[in-house]
Amino acid sequence: MENFINLTRSLSRLKIIDEPLDVNLEIPHLAYIEIKKEKPDVLLFTNPINREKNIKYPIPVLMNAFAGFDITEKIFGRHPDEIAAEIEKFLHLKLPENLKEKLSALGLLFRLKSVFPKRTNKKGKCQEVVITGNQIDLDQLPILKTWEKDGGRFITAGQVYTKSLDGKLNNLGLYRIQQINKNQLIMHWQVHKDASHFFDQYYKAKKKMPVAIAIGGDPLYTWCGQAPLPYGLFELLLYGFIKNQNPRLVKCITNDIYVPEDADIIIEGEVDPTDFRPEGPFGDHTGYYTPVENFPVLTVKAITMKKNPVYYATVVGKPPVEDKYMGWGTERIFLPLLKTTTPDLIDYHMPENGVFHNLLIAKIKPLYKGHAKQIMHAFWGVGQMSFLKHAIFVNEDAPPLTNYPELTRYILNRLSEKSFLITEGIVDQLDHSSYETLVGGKLGVDATGKSVEKQVEVLPDKELFEKIKNLDSDIVELKQYMTDTANPITVIKVNKTKPVKEIFNKLKQFNQYIKIVVFVDNEHNDLENPYMLVWRVTNNIDALKDVWIEEIWGLDATRKWEIDGYYRQWPEDVFCTPKVIEKLKEKSLIDVGDEFLKKYQIIPYL
């Protein structure tokens, strides 16, 4: 962490904030706005406080470690594509036929010596200060409350180290962790995650589960915690491979978990398989508050730290946030591994405003009829890719996958009724659009074919609105996108009083003017903001219920409730607290205007 701070300072990318700011809302709100800038800075808050508890923390808070593509590349030590190329060499290692090939193969294999973690018997830097017994007090740590309606304060960048009941498997995961009191935390490991699988073993054996939570150290540790490695592979192997140096681990003082010796803070504890408490709500990376659910409780047995630790935290919410850059690294590095199951995959991209698991665009080399749909099924069966909700496939002649305007035109010019595959599968536990938890619709779109003919006559927005506004009193406003393509998109805002399918059915009579229609709520949506509309739509649709391929094609991205046959709790948007934003403006700590706040829906405008 010291090296990282010095590096970002030398690059003039470290912003030091000496103003006393509250861990409740003020620090995370400022970080949330900073990370959305075109070139964000790493933030170091030197005087965190808690006004509610009258605490002045001696530990500074570092946020936005992954502050842009350039800083993320510095954390990896090289471009993620270089790491991917090296992984690809290993995956295609063949029996050498001559001396040159033998030497090359030996060089690759020699690299593996750096992959495996080294355990030391000495105390680590993370154990220079040891707190046990009655001295344990989580209030000594500047744990943040990010959003006004959060259920409490949460550790947001805790590296969670666990092991299987038989001790043969180790795992590093990245989960949110809610503080209950001075010595207890709630572990939000979702049902599909490896730590939850380990917990199931302890639960069945009626044994307490040892856990260690590391904070800080090399930011790459935190990235490794979210890496989608197969079950049973220890994520720190990836750290060793990327850094070309063995991660050095030290044994915790109260259990047999090993943690990075240079982490800033370690929280050691055990989870009681009989103790579950309500966790949340929490404004998560989906941009919505996730509901209250019961999760297991960890009782802290020790807190150890460096003499001068730094508390590292991240902020999640509506895109773009820090996971944009973390996800970029993951996307590039894991391309070769995806190709092992889908060899005709050329490239893929997961836009951050699709919240990664909500939208994937893939470029493939289709070799036969139905090839794209075959790859769709392969994706939905691969590890964490199985949580993917919407996948769009394009041919090798498509524009670059990050050239969104041209890529969108390419896709829309190749869609027909046969392009769509709708099926059912598992979804992320945080997904709110599925009509039952953990299981929902999947949408695959095959845009690898030839261009299709335009079938609709495009009218100006005002003229089209005049034609349809009297169809249904729920219709409020509309805007058309990509009207130069074969399949234009019409986005309609509604004040919803009935199932949107009823409005959709009425619109079919205007199929000479409308091909694709997307419905969104009137509240909190701006039809002039396609970036946030993509975020809203990919979050809010369950393809089984909300996608209709009929005379026209429809997507219902509105809020759902009982009238739709939806009986779960629909979550609220995550917004910053306006009075906190105003206070930070008064202190001259925020240098963005109202248009910026509106663009990313940081505070409620609409």
**Model confidence pLDDT, tens digit, residues 325-361:** 999 999 999 999 889 888 899 999 999 999 888 999 9
Distance CA(490)–CA(478), nearest Å, equals 7
Which residue do the tokens 């929280």 mark?
A: 267
The token pair that represents 364 in the structure block = 């493939």
Distance CA(237)–CA(487), nearest Å, equals 47
Distance CA(414)–CA(441), nearest Å, equals 23
Q: Which fold has domain 461-564?
A: UbiD C-terminal domain-like (3.40.1670)
Q: Are 523 and 494 in contact (CB under 8 A)?
A: no
pLDDT for the residue numbered 93: 59
Bridge partners, residue 390, by sequence: 443
Query: Where does CATH 2.30.110.10 sit in the chain?
Result: 2-78+109-313
pLDDT for the residue numbered 106: 63
Strands (E), 53-132: 55-56, 61-63, 118-120, 129-132
pLDDT for the residue numbered 95: 65
pLDDT for the residue numbered 465: 96
Distance CA(148)–CA(166), nearest Å, equals 42
Which residue do the tokens 């130069």 mark?
A: 484
Query: Where does CATH 3.40.1670.10 sit in the chain?
Result: 339-447, 461-564
| Dihedrals phi, psi of 186, to nearest 5 degrees | -110, 130
pLDDT for the residue numbered 75: 97
pLDDT for the residue numbered 105: 61
Distance CA(127)–CA(123), nearest Å, equals 6
Could you state, in chain order, the average pLDDT of each consecutive group of 10 residues for the chain (606 residues)?
97 98 98 97 98 97 97 96 88 65 62 83 94 96 98 96 94 95 94 83 95 97 90 89 93 96 97 95 95 95 97 96 95 91 92 92 93 90 86 96 97 96 91 93 95 95 94 96 97 97 96 97 96 97 97 97 95 96 95 94 84
* pLDDT tens digit sequence for 64-88: 999 999 999 999 999 999 999 988 8
The CATH number fitting domain 2-78+109-313, selected from 2.30.110.10, 2.60.40.1290, 3.10.290.10, 2.40.50.100: 2.30.110.10
**Count of H helices and E strands in the chain?**
18, 31
First-to-final CA distance of the chain: 41
CB-neighbour burial class of residue 297 (10 A; exposed 0-12, middle 13-18, buried 19+): buried
Degrees (nearest 5) of the Cα angle 471, 474, 478?
A: 80
State the SS3 of 388-429: CCEEEEECCCCCCCCCHHHHHHHHHCCCCHHHEEEEEEECCC
Distance CA(586)–CA(580), nearest Å, equals 10
Distance CA(151)–CA(291), nearest Å, equals 10
The CATH number fitting domain 339-447, selected from 3.40.1670.10, 3.20.20.140, 3.40.190.80, 3.30.413.10: 3.40.1670.10
Residue 21 CA to its chain's centroid (Å): 27
